[in-house]
Structure 1
Amino acid sequence: MRLIESQLTGIVGSVLLLDKAGGHLHHGAAPSLAKEYTHAIDGTRIGPKVGSCGTAAYRREPVIVTDIMSDPLWEDFRDLVRPYGYRSCWSTPILSHTGVVLGVFAMYSKTVREPTKAESNLIDFTTRIAGIAIERKLAEDRIHFMANHDTLTGLPNRALLGDRLSQAILYAQRYDRWVSVVFIDLDNFKLVNDTLGHNAGDALLKTLASRMVRCVRATDTVVRLGGDEFVVVLFDQDPDVDLVGATLQKLRTAIAEPVCLGERHIRATASMGVVNYPDDGATADVLLANADAAMYRAKELGRDNFQFYAPEFNATAQEKFLLQEELRNALARAEFTLLYQPQVDLRSGNVFAAEALIRWNHPSHGLIAPMKFIPMAEETGLIVPIGDWVLHEACRQNKAWQDAGLPPLVVCVNVSARQFKEKNLISHVIDALTDSGLEAKYLELELTESLIMQNVDTAVAMMNALQSLGVQISIDDFGTGYSSLSALKTFPVARLKIDKSFINDLATDENDQAVASAVISLGQKLNLRVIAEGVETDDQVAFLRKNNCDEMQGYHFSKPVSAQGIARLLNKEQGGHTSPE
């Protein structure tokens, strides 16, 4: 471009390159064109009325504009070009030897005129030279890509793997991070080739390759070694085996999704071996060899699983993997049950409500506590159907207590962050009330403080909608989040629940006493009832009564019990035994 400009007076040149999709022009070379203008037109879409360059690429023929300020082709771009003083623009498409548009060569002048005969000859000569140069560069790029990528899937190949893995190791050394290498071998792939043919096998490989890429971050690398073997390099990893395990689960799930091959639906599985730098190897070669060994171990153990090279990781990872699989089927197998922990009025001593608490009655592990499976349910999205079951079952049970002639009480159900974000939460609540026949005033939904504060406006709108049904709302774990007083006063809630972390040392810790008394006072000023959870001792009860706390929940009165246990408590109260002590 500089050579051409040196042959002319008052002319600046520009080359724009057409992208692979054939729709937009991008900056190629324009050493003397105003930089701001060059930046502004970068990425311009071609079309029938897009200045000189966009129109020339669209028409596939030269476009000579002698006056930019009056030519209709520049109508939408005059204000853009006006500050730079360019008045005429002559654009010629750059064609390949087969006639494909590669880009556009343009000459700009600050005077209103058309090109001279000499300038037109130079334009013709220049576009041919530019076409040759661009085609050569594209050919070099294709050769380089083919040398470093798999022709079938477009993934990086073995040649590029070493470079990517070495870079990842250098980064991990510098910043004290992990590199995880996953060696993946598809199970029984030969059977697909033998029964459905190589075209079907190729289609399966391409589909699975694209799925694996979607499972990892842009900084990670998915490599096809050849045949049905892949390697995934997870770059810049936290030193946490659970995080690596979560990515492996995503890969495994994606691979297992059915693939449509003609009239058949094929379900693939894979055996995976996993290593982590630096513990399992210091070099790329050692890491790959150990990942390969771990993969063969996965094959030996029945395929369709993953194995860490470090044996100590396998027990916890496999346990979590199996538990997650079993969790998916627990609802269908009716393995969940609800316990209920009574909530007591501190003044009358009567049970007025019960919190529904889910337990997983595992067929071989027995009763599994929520802290072990609820985070997993949140992570997988299973918390939504599980939470819906809890809602329906708690409402059904409460109505059953009422139908048995027991004193009416409120049943409290926790709502997870994932559930709360569901657009159909309101309809699920309505369904649970309708199906059970329970009046809305006997249902309370517990929302955590941090959940509400994620998006206050949305949360308040949802709470108002729930309140309009007649459902009560409470804030759980109050004091552990970060709600402001100005936000709190807008929440349509009936109760605040003091988190048990402030109750544990209430008898001796002055800070906990200060927090608890402040929350009680705050609740009273906002006309909210305050309940303390995790109450276990007489000293705690004495402090709460002294500070006028309204309600309590905890082992001091009762641990979580079955539905029959709640019925016995209510029957006992009807007999006149009302003291919480």
Structure 2
Amino acid sequence: MAFPFNQQNSIWFKRLNKSSWRGLLAGSISLTLALVVLAWGVTWQRLEAEKALLGANARIQQENLAAIVAENLAQVLDRGRLMSIAANEWFEGKPAEATNRLSAMRATDLAFLRIALYDRQLRRVYTSSPASATAGLRDALVRAVQTSPAAAAAGLLQIAPPPESYEEAWQLPLLFPVLGNNHEVRGVLLVVLDLGYFLSLYQHIDIGRSGIVQVLTSDGKEVAQARQEGLILSQRRGSFELPIQPARHGSLTGTFFENDEPYLSTFRRLERYPFSVAVSRQIDETLTEHHGSRQRFFSALAALTAIIALAALWFGRSIRRQGQLLSALAAADQEKCELIEQLEEEKRRAFELAAHDHLTGLPNRRMFHELVASHLSRAKRSRKHYAMLYLDLDHFKRINDSLGHHVGDLLLQSVAARLRSSLRESDVIARLGGDEFAVLLTGLESVDDTASIAAKLVAQISQPCRNLDGHDIQVGPSVGIALFPRDGHDVDTLCRHADAAMYQSKRSGRGRYTFYDPALNPASDRLLHLEQRLPKAIVGHELVLHFQPKVRLDDYRIVGFEALVRWQHPEFGLIYPNDFIPLAEHSGQIIELGDWVVTACCRQLADWQAAGLELVPIACNISAKQLLDDELPERIAGFLAASGIAARYLEVEITENSLIESIEVAGHVLGKLAGLGLQIALDGFGNGLSNLSHIRSLPIDSLKIDRSFISDIRNSPDDAVIVSSIITLAHNLKMRVVAEGVEMLDQLIHLKTAGCDEVQGYYLSRPVTAIAAGQLLLRSTLAPT
């Protein structure tokens, strides 16, 4: 039979071949197997439920029958107990009345064959029919007479040994104690129960082919049993293992009888007498109906499974045949599609490489300019506001240099992700290169929205970046903002002005945003001019040193100078360090500038020495980049040797923040400097990020307390406590303490009282030229006025 095939099926089979028709075939087989397993599982579950139900019904039937037999047996034994009560009249002096009453009760109760009354001396005083007492009976009588009053009062009876002859095996002798008024045992009443008569009452009850009704003693010994064929009396008295007390009734399963077949047995104990009744039936007989149902169901399932398997086989062969017929066409289509996809992928990759940054996936500079130009062309016809933002990460180069470029790349990716999550889809985000990003905010309702968005970006980017190759890094952005059309009508103008505003943010303290101001341009031009001319100033003798004296508080003697560099610019006049030191760090000229300062200090010391002045140490500042230069100690040693100055007259000052980048390298360089004999001072202590364990491990000779603690020491108890703590700490570490920024007499008095060693500041002397510093050396002291 051919599989129906048309144009729709052709398309379906092409798709099928692409996703592998073998998968459909496997799915069909799996579905078929699942259906078969489901059918068999449901059927098995139903058969098990039916089996459990039949077992429960059989158990209930047997429990009901056991309850009926047990109740009838208890009634018969109750009548025997009544006879024992009537027999008490004999011992009360009424033998005639007792004889008449017992004879009447015996005559009306067919369950009892005969009765006999014995006194405490085991003399038979009454019998309904003559019979000799066996030895076993006599022993039982002795035990019955000796029964305790409490047991007798509870109605406890004893079972006498049954007759040994087979003809009398159906007789069950029972001994009931005869009690007096004080519950003393006066005698024993022998009652012989006719088991044949008792069990014949249930011969018409259908208990099945294998059904068995048993009368058992309390310890499980069989007294008699009835089967479908009648009463069974066996000379072998077996034992039926009943559950231990206190279970009054229940069910058991096991091989209890001689045929070793499994039986379901239900038992019930009599409450007042030492007997139990058990009803048993073979388990297979109770499940006869279940076996028939199972056979029918399994036959039907086998037929259904065969039908499903044949159908699945036919369907699978059809799918395979159609799949093979279309495999060549599908392969050709697949090849064409793969070629087209490859071309599309190459085109997309080429576009991505040409227009996007490979690291962050953001548009690059060229793509950004095109997108911004497109937006600005529409912005000219819109009343919405647009803003250009330039973002630069602060101290990003330090991260690359200290942690590696791979960590820097991870940081750039994290910043790009935060920009995407913080801005709208309509805004344009780009990475211009390095750590510089640009954003075009489009369609703003108000210019004030720009400040809110910029503040949000600064806050988001300034959050710590967790677990970047095992490092937690926190950087802040410097943001510059240019507004369209106020700050420019084209892309280049807006970019230039946003860049200028961004550099103003860096100069203003970093980690902030700044709107473009036309007044920034002259400053930018001036800074660019200074940066370009700085190398020429270093070698062209445009730099000069001013000196501020350090005074010892014990005797106000000048014990040192701090060298402060100035730039004597031919056009702008005297320029202070705050204006050109950052330019030197940014342009990489800080090493050359630092070497010039050290050389100038050595040269000045040589001049004072030649003039016969008493020398004091001159301190010069060392930048963070100089501390990372392992060749710095050798160069300073060369400068000292060239000028003929002893190393103890040169002191280097470092800041706390200069130790952040690499405490190991800085410690190595400082160790070499200390080995040359130079003094080392930690400048601006308390205003940085020092770790006391690091300070203790470095060869530092003195601490300079930052001027921010000195300025308000008179009015701020906190500053006073901090200053006193720093002085105590430094003295405990065997360091001198120098306070800078002393401008008032009250500050000087407080510092002297606190135990400070040396001070410097405007109150004693401003920084002066080399000539004025030489004159101060001649005075040797600077006592306060």
TM bracket (short chain)? 0.5 to 0.7
Question: Partner of 2:18 in structure 1?
Answer: 4
Q: Does 1:312 align with 2:326?
A: no
Deviation at 1:442, TM superposition (A): 1.4
Q: Does 1:396 align with 2:600?
A: no
How far does the alpha carbon of each residue in 1:332-355 deviate from its partner, in whole angstroms, 9 at most, with x for none?
Answer: 321100011111111122111111
Deviation at 1:390, TM superposition (A): 0.4
| SS of equivalent residue, structure 2 residue 697 | coil
Contact 2:365 2:432 in 1 (8 A): no
Q: CA 1:435/1:3 → structure 2, altered by over 3 Å: closer, same or farther?
A: farther
Question: Partner of 2:620 in structure 1?
Answer: 413
How far does the alpha carbon of each residue in 1:270-322 deviate from its partner, in whole angstroms, 9 at most, with x for none?
Answer: xxxxxx85534289x9444965999xxxxxxxxxxxxx996333222222222
Q: Distance in 1 between matches of 2:712 and 2:751?
A: 13
Query: Which amino acid is 1:367 matched to?
Result: L
Q: Distance in 1 between matches of 2:625 and 2:455?
A: 25
Decide which of 458, 483, 491 is 2:690's aligned counterpart.
483
Q: CA 1:541/1:238 → structure 2, altered by over 3 Å: closer, same or farther?
A: same
How far does the alpha carbon of each residue in 1:497-545 deviate from its partner, in whole angstroms, 9 at most, with x for none?
Answer: 0111111122232222111111111111111000111112221111111
| SS of equivalent residue, structure 2 residue 619 | strand
Q: How does 1:22-33 map to 2 (within 5 A)?
A: none
Question: Partner of 1:252 in structure 2?
Answer: none
| SS of equivalent residue, structure 1 residue 279 | strand
Q: Distance in 2 between matches of 1:429 and 1:293?
A: 42
Deviation at 1:463, TM superposition (A): 1.5
| SS of equivalent residue, structure 1 residue 445 | strand
Contact 1:148 1:160 in 2 (8 A): no
Decide which of 624, 632, 636 is 1:429's aligned counterpart.
636
Contact 1:339 1:358 in 2 (8 A): yes
Q: Distance in 2 between matches of 1:572 and 1:521?
A: 31
Contact 1:177 1:237 in 2 (8 A): no
Contact 2:388 2:439 in 1 (8 A): no
Q: CA 1:277/1:548 → structure 2, altered by over 3 Å: closer, same or farther?
A: closer
Q: Structure 1: any 5+ residue segments left out of the alignment? A: 13-116, 182-212, 223-235, 240-275, 295-307
Question: Partner of 1:495 in structure 2?
Answer: 702
Contact 2:369 2:491 in 1 (8 A): no
Query: Which amino acid is 2:18 matched to?
Result: I
Q: Distance in 1 between matches of 2:349 and 2:372?
A: 18
| SS of equivalent residue, structure 1 residue 413 | strand
Deviation at 1:325, TM superposition (A): 2.5
Q: Does 1:446 align with 2:629?
A: no
Q: Which structure 1 residue ranges, 4+ long, deviate > 4 Å from structure 2?
A: 9-12, 117-127, 142-149, 157-161, 163-169, 213-222, 236-239, 289-294
Contact 2:554 2:757 in 1 (8 A): yes
Deviation at 1:323, TM superposition (A): 2.6
Query: Which amino acid is 2:657 matched to?
Result: S
Deviation at 1:6, TM superposition (A): 2.5
Question: Partner of 2:674 in structure 1?
Answer: 467
How far does the alpha carbon of each residue in 1:453-484 deviate from its partner, in whole angstroms, 9 at most, with x for none?
Answer: 44333322221122112111110000101223
Query: Which amino acid is 1:565 matched to?
Result: A
Contact 1:350 1:580 in 2 (8 A): no
Contact 1:535 1:552 in 2 (8 A): yes
How far does the alpha carbon of each residue in 1:423-464 deviate from its partner, in whole angstroms, 9 at most, with x for none?
Answer: 432233222222222221211110001212443333222211
Question: Partner of 1:279 in structure 2?
Answer: 483
Contact 1:503 1:534 in 2 (8 A): yes
| SS of equivalent residue, structure 2 residue 680 | strand
Q: Distance in 1 between matches of 2:590 and 2:703?
A: 24
Query: Which amino acid is 1:398 matched to?
Result: L
Q: 323-332 vs 522-531, which deviates more?
A: 323-332
Question: Partner of 1:346 in structure 2?
Answer: 553
Q: CA 1:452/1:5 → structure 2, altered by over 3 Å: closer, same or farther?
A: same
Question: Partner of 1:554 in structure 2?
Answer: 761
Q: CA 1:147/1:488 → structure 2, altered by over 3 Å: closer, same or farther?
A: closer
Q: Distance in 2 between matches of 1:147 and 1:352?
A: 65
Q: Does 1:387 align with 2:597?
A: no
Question: Partner of 1:528 in structure 2?
Answer: 735
How far does the alpha carbon of each residue in 1:379-407 deviate from its partner, in whole angstroms, 9 at most, with x for none?
Answer: 22222211110011111211221232211
| SS of equivalent residue, structure 2 residue 607 | helix
Q: Structure 2: any 5+ residue segments left out of the alignment? A: 1-14, 27-323, 357-363, 392-430, 441-452, 457-479, 498-514
Q: Distance in 2 between matches of 1:168 and 1:519?
A: 60
Deviation at 1:566, TM superposition (A): 1.9
Q: Distance in 1 between matches of 2:531 and 2:691?
A: 37
Q: Does 1:179 align with 2:389?
A: yes
Specify the structure having the higher radius of gyration (Cα): 2
Q: Hey, which of these two has a bigger chunk of helix by percent? A: 2
Contact 1:399 1:437 in 2 (8 A): yes
| TM-score of the aligned structures, taking structure 2 as reference length | 0.42
| SS of equivalent residue, structure 2 residue 519 | helix
| SS of equivalent residue, structure 1 residue 556 | coil
Contact 2:18 2:330 in 1 (8 A): no
Q: CA 1:461/1:146 → structure 2, altered by over 3 Å: closer, same or farther?
A: closer
Q: Distance in 2 between matches of 1:395 and 1:562?
A: 15
Query: Which amino acid is 2:336 matched to?
Result: I
How far does the alpha carbon of each residue in 1:77-96 deviate from its partner, in whole angstroms, 9 at most, with x for none?
Answer: xxxxxxxxxxxxxxxxxxxx
Contact 2:18 2:334 in 1 (8 A): no
Contact 1:280 1:310 in 2 (8 A): no
